[in-house]
């Protein structure tokens, strides 16, 4: 009988214990794969999130919140700043490009962003729309690819937005708000009526950009002023996206804006680094849990093979008496451990990527981070090598015990 057939027969003979061992290895590998893909996607998405705009000017407050809201469309903006801040930034010689942004409304949970169209050419170069054309007039929009697919929007569709960053139905809003006085209630209805009466038209659909812009709706900067019918002296913007001419220029610009009239200038890279540092701290905790899972998987393989060695002592003694070498016996037991480990490894890789595929939409909808479920990285090779090494090491003890014993002692035991 060939070594492979003998190993396979032994594994199937103890199929329940073998299945438990395979499951332990598979769950551990799947968890590590999912963690690796998520961490890599967060790092890549964070670095791609702000493009060439190394500086953002907005209302004073949290720099991280300002950057996350501006580029990743996460959370609420710090507030608004005077429109004059845009003119001041554009007059500065240290600025290569500067674009105004307004935010604060949504359509079915997706943010509506007022943004000058030059932003797309500066950030994405000659990117063409998937269909339609760029917005040119107030009320015209272009829709991110993910939003268009999720909501089924097409060029020419008309819709109304809602105030705030989350879509809330009237009854839910009232329940969440609790008791409000009549004036506030009237104000809410007045604002809701203003948004309902303002219509947006889909002028174009963006291609897949693989950035948080895929899950946003873009329109002209003046949409917020038109919705609320603001006079020229009342008009404000949410942020100014700045592409500095040089790193020194970015530093000078930050110094000029920080602390002036409730305005701040934040480095995009620094805010993103702060977020990644927080993610790394969470990854360390998950790493500890992963190490525990790996240890348990190794123990599971070891116990399985110890049980197998105990059951097959007489069989191994018979093989030795029939003339099989010690090396054959050693290979038979280590092969069993490796077969179980490799089966669990393959199942774990499939489960990990399947989990990434199932979670990709939820993660992208919440944070604008895209997991690449079909991506194979250098980390996968390390995972595979580590799993095989653990299976081999767990097999050595029982195999070596059988290897050292005399065939008559094996048979008599």
C-alpha R_g of the chain: 31
pLDDT digits (tens, 9 = 90+) for 58-85: 998 888 899 888 988 888 888 899 998 8
Tell me what percent of the chain is helix, strand and coil, each rounded to the nearest 5.
60, 15, 25
Would the pTM count as exceeding 0.75? Answer: no
Residues near 146 by beta carbon (within 8 Å), at least 6 away in sequence: 208, 214, 215, 364, 365
Q: Where are the domains of the chain?
A: 3-46+275-412, 61-258
Residues 132, 69, 264, 247: is their CA dihedral positive or negative? negative
pLDDT tops 70 at residue 271: yes
pLDDT tops 70 at residue 309: no
298: tokens are 């190794």
Residues near 12 by beta carbon (within 8 Å), at least 6 away in sequence: 18
pLDDT tops 60 at residue 289: yes
pLDDT tops 50 at residue 330: yes
CB distance 365 to 215 below 8 Å: yes
**Using 50, 70 and 90 to split pLDDT, how confident is the model at 178?**
very low
Mean pLDDT of 197-210: 89
CA distance 78 to 62: 7
pLDDT tops 60 at residue 204: yes
Mean pLDDT of 362-382: 73
Q: Residue 132: beta bridge partners?
A: 204
CA distance 16 to 296: 18
Residue 219 backbone class (left: φ over 0; alpha: ψ -120 to 50; beta: rest): beta
pLDDT tops 80 at residue 8: no
Mean pLDDT of 216-225: 92
Highest mean pLDDT among 43-57, 238-252, 270-284: 238-252
87: tokens are 């003119």
CA distance 379 to 279: 18
Mean pLDDT of 36-50: 73
**157-166, 284-293, 344-353: lowest mean pLDDT where?**
284-293
Helical packing angle, 3-13 and 326-367, nearest 10°: 60
**3-class state of residue 159 by DSSP:** strand
**Using 50, 70 and 90 to split pLDDT, how confident is the model at 321?**
low
pLDDT digits (tens, 9 = 90+) for 110-129: 999 999 989 999 998 866 88
Residues near 187 by beta carbon (within 8 Å), at least 6 away in sequence: none
**Using 50, 70 and 90 to split pLDDT, how confident is the model at 156?**
very high
CB distance 299 to 305 below 8 Å: no
CA distance 95 to 250: 8
343: tokens are 């089966």
Compute φ and ψ for 229, nearest 5 degrees: 50, 55
**Using 50, 70 and 90 to split pLDDT, how confident is the model at 169?**
very low
**Using 50, 70 and 90 to split pLDDT, how confident is the model at 253?**
confident
pLDDT digits (tens, 9 = 90+) for 384-410: 888 888 777 777 766 666 666 665 555
- pLDDT for res 237: 93
Strand extents, DSSP E, 25-127: 55-59, 81-82, 95-107, 110-115
Q: What single DSSP character describes residue 243?
A: E
């Amino acid at each position: 009988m060939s070594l492979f057939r003998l190993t396979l027969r032994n594994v199937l003979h103890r199929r329940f214990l073998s299945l438990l061992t395979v499951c332990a290895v598979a769950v551990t590998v799947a968890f590590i794969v999912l963690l690796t893909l998520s961490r890599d996607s967060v790092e890549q998405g964070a670095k791609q999130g702000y493009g060439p705009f190394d500086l953002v000017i907005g209302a004073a407050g949290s720099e991280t919140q300002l950057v996350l809201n501006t580029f990743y469309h996460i959370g609420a903006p710090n507030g608004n700043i005077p429109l004059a801040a845009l003119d001041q930034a554009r007059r500065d010689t240290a600025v290569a490009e500067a674009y105004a942004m307004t935010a604060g409304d949504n359509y079915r949970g997706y943010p509506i962003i007022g943004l000058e169209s030059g932003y797309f050419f500066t950030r994405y170069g000659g990117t063409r729309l998937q269909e339609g054309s760029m917005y040119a007039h107030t009320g015209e929009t272009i829709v991110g690819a993910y939003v268009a697919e999720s909501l089924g929007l097409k060029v020419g569709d008309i819709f109304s937005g809602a105030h705030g960053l989350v879509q809330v139905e009237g009854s839910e809003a009232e329940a969440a708000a609790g008791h409000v006085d009549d004036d506030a209630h009237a104000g809410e209805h007045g604002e809701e009526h203003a948004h309902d009466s303002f219509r947006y038209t889909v002028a174009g659909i963006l291609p897949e950009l693989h950035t948080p812009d895929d899950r946003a709706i873009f329109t002209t900067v003046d949409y917020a002023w038109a919705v609320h019918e603001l006079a020229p002296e009342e008009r404000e913007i949410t942020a100014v996206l700045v592409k500095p001419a040089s790193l020194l220029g970015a530093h000078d610009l930050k110094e000029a804006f920080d602390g002036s009239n409730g305005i701040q200038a934040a480095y995009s890279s620094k805010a993103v680094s702060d977020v990644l540092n927080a993610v790394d701290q969470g990854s360390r905790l998950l790493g500890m849990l992963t190490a525990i899972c790996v240890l348990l998987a190794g123990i599971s393989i070891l116990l399985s093979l110890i049980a197998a060695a105990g059951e097959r002592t007489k069989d191994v003694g018979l093989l030795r008496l029939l003339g099989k070498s010690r090396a054959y016996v050693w290979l038979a037991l280590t092969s069993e451990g490796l077969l179980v480990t490799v089966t669990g490894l393959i199942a774990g890789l499939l489960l990990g990527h399947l989990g990434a595929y199932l979670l990709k939409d939820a993660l992208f909808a919440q944070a604008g981070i895209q997991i690449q479920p079909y991506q194979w990285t250098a980390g996968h090779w390390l995972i595979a090598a580590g799993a095989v090494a653990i299976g081999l090491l767990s097999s050595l003890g029982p195999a070596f015990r059988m290897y050292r014993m005399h065939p008559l002692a094996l048979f008599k035991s």
